[in-house]
């Protein structure tokens, strides 16, 4: 490991325990006149959304006013996600009703992108809706580096204490797609970004001014594209990461992860081209193909995965009007 990488890890990698004093964070936030918004993107999350809203609202809005605004942005759930979220006090929105003039696309990235328009905070924190062991650390651990360090623009979560703190070195706890796809790709093309321990984690916080200047893939590639785009603009020092300890969530099937990897690869290859790492992108397919065996015969399953992208929010008229940048 180079000296710079080690230095970055030492200075920009945190543990949520460093930010246990939430009252201190609230004071610093107020002193710096920062507003913080929390967004939970949802699609059929009735089983876990109630707990997330209950805990995060009670602790980080009512007990300690760290969060100024809390919204659930939904992709059109057909279960009781919105009803449950509202019953525990969340503001709920349908992504399709935000900036209706730009149309509606289906995907988590769409909700995250539209949150930039809908929410007013200087810092936006995104937390996935499927965390069974939700705790306030999932938010304060991510916004704290942004409150405390002006040079930090974007903070990623990582989990399960993969680093050596007291009981010996353990291997990184990244997910399967991280370890099999993203880490090898980063090692090939963006070695500095391998310092981000869990590049695909769904929890992160960022300053509005950086979120509004980058495009958002609406599907699987959104986390990867954020890292690549912000790295190109600001370098590694714009990033920080926080260990949030254990995260309990749904386990995805290998098939689902294959489809996810297919989407991420599209985004990655596009970035390689736009950032001049490769000369040209050949025509590529958008159909993900896999096989299943039934009664001794092989059936090919074909699913279309198109990684559409939303342009940087700053380019959208409606947004510029709202923020007075027209």
Q: Is 231 helix (H, G, I), strand (E, B) or coil?
A: helix
Tokens of 192: 């500095």
Q: How far is the CB of 133 from another protein (least distance, A)?
A: 6
The runs of H, that is alpha helices, within 17-164 are: 22-31, 46-57, 81-87, 108-118, 137-148
Work out which of 17, 89, 235, 311 binds another protein, going by CB under 8 A.
Answer: 89
Please answer whether residues 45 and 82 qualify as being in contact, where contact means their C-beta atoms are separated by less than 8 angstroms. no
57 binds another protein (CB under 8 A): yes
4, 18, 30, 87: residue in contact with another protein (rule CB under 8 A): 87
Which candidate, 81, 91, 96, 69, places its Cα nearest to that of 42?
A: 81
Count of residues touching another protein (by CB under 8 A): 21
Strand partners, 310: 216
Using CA atoms, how far apart are residues 60 and 266, in angstroms rounded to an integer? Answer: 37
With beta carbons less than 8 A apart as the criterion, state whether 176 and 257 touch. Answer: yes
Of residues 131 through 160, those in contact with another protein by CB under 8 A are 132-133, 135
Q: Among candidates 61, 75, 71, which has minimal Cα distance to 127?
A: 71
Spacing of C-alpha 277 from chain mean position: 24
Q: Which is nearer to another protein, 62 or 209 (CB)?
A: 62
Helix ranges (H only) for the chain are 3-12, 22-31, 46-57, 81-87, 108-118, 137-148, 176-177, 183-189, 208-211, 222-234, 254-274, 317-323
The nearer residue to another protein, 12 or 42, going by C-beta atoms, is: 42
Query: Of 35, 80, 277, 290, which lies in the binding site for another protein, with binding defined by CB under 8 A?
Result: 80
Report in angstroms how near the CB of residue 203 gets to another protein at its nearest.
17
Q: Which of 59, 68, 203, 307 binds another protein (CB under 8 A)?
A: 59
Q: Which of 41, 50, 121, 173 binds another protein (CB under 8 A)?
A: 50
Complex with another protein: residue 34 or 54, whichever CB lies closer: 54
Q: Which of 248, 256, 278, 301 binds another protein (CB under 8 A)?
A: 248
List binders of another protein among 30-49 (CB under 8 A).
Answer: 47-48
Find the part of the chain contacting another protein (CB under 8 A) among 56-64, 115-123, 179-187, 212-220.
56-64
User: CA-to-CA distance for 144 and 127, rounded, in angstroms?
Assistant: 15
Task: Give 133 or 303: the residue with its C-beta nearer to another protein.
Answer: 133
Nearest distance, CB of residue 46 and another protein, angstroms = 8
DSSP 82-124: HHHHHHTT-EEEEGGGSSGGG----SHHHHHHHHHHH---SEE
Residue choice 34, 43, 54, 213 for contact with another protein (CB under 8 A) = 54
Taking the complex as a whole, the smallest distance from the CB of residue 2 to another protein amounts, in Å, to 39
- The correct pick among 15, 28, 88, 149 for binding another protein (CB under 8 A) is 88
Query: How is residue 209 written in tokens?
Result: 């001014």
Binding mask 257-286 for another protein (x = CB under 8 A): ------------------------------
Angstrom distance (rounded) from CA 316 to CA 13: 34
Nearer to another protein, 80 or 277 (CB): 80
Minimum distance from CB of 140 to another protein (Å)?
Answer: 14
Closest separation between CB of residue 51 and another protein, Å?
4
Interface positions with another protein (CB under 8 A): 47-48, 50-51, 54-55, 57-59, 62-63, 80, 83-84, 87-89, 132-133, 135, 248
């Amino acid at each position: 490991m180079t000296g710079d990488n080690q230095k970055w890890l030492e200075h920009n990698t945190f543990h949520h325990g460093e930010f246990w004093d939430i009252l201190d964070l609230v004071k610093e936030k107020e002193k710096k006149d920062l507003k913080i918004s929390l967004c939970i993107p949802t699609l059929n999350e009735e089983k876990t959304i109630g707990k997330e809203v209950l805990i995060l609202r009670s602790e980080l809005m009512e007990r300690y006013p760290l969060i100024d605004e809390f919204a659930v942005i939904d992709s059109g759930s057909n279960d009781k996600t919105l009803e449950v979220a509202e019953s525990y006090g969340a503001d709920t929105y349908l992504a399709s009703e935000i900036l209706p003039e730009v149309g509606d696309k289906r995907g988590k990235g769409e909700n995250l992108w539209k949150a930039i328009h809908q929410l007013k905070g200087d810092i936006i924190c995104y937390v996935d809706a499927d965390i069974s062991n939700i705790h306030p650390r999932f938010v304060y651990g991510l916004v704290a580096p942004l409150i405390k360090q002006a040079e930090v623009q974007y903070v990623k979560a990582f989990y399960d204490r993969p680093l050596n703190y007291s009981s010996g070195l353990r291997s990184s706890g990244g997910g399967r797609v991280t370890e099999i796809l993203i880490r090898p790709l980063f090692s090939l093309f963006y070695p500095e970004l391998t310092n981000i321990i869990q590049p695909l984690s769904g929890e992160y916080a960022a300053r509005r001014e950086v979120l509004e200047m980058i495009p958002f893939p609406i599907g699987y590639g959104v986390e990867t594209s954020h890292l690549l785009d912000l790295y190109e603009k600001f370098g590694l020092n714009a990033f920080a990461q926080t260990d949030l300890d254990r995260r309990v969530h749904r386990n995805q099937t290998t098939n689902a992860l294959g489809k996810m990897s297919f989407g991420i690869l599209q985004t990655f290859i596009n970035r390689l081209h736009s950032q001049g790492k490769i000369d040209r992108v050949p025509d590529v397919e958008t159909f993900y193909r896999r096989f299943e065996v039934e009664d001794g015969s092989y059936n090919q399953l074909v699913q279309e995965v198109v990684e559409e992208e939303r342009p940087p929010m700053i380019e959208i008229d409606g947004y510029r009007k709202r923020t007075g940048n027209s």
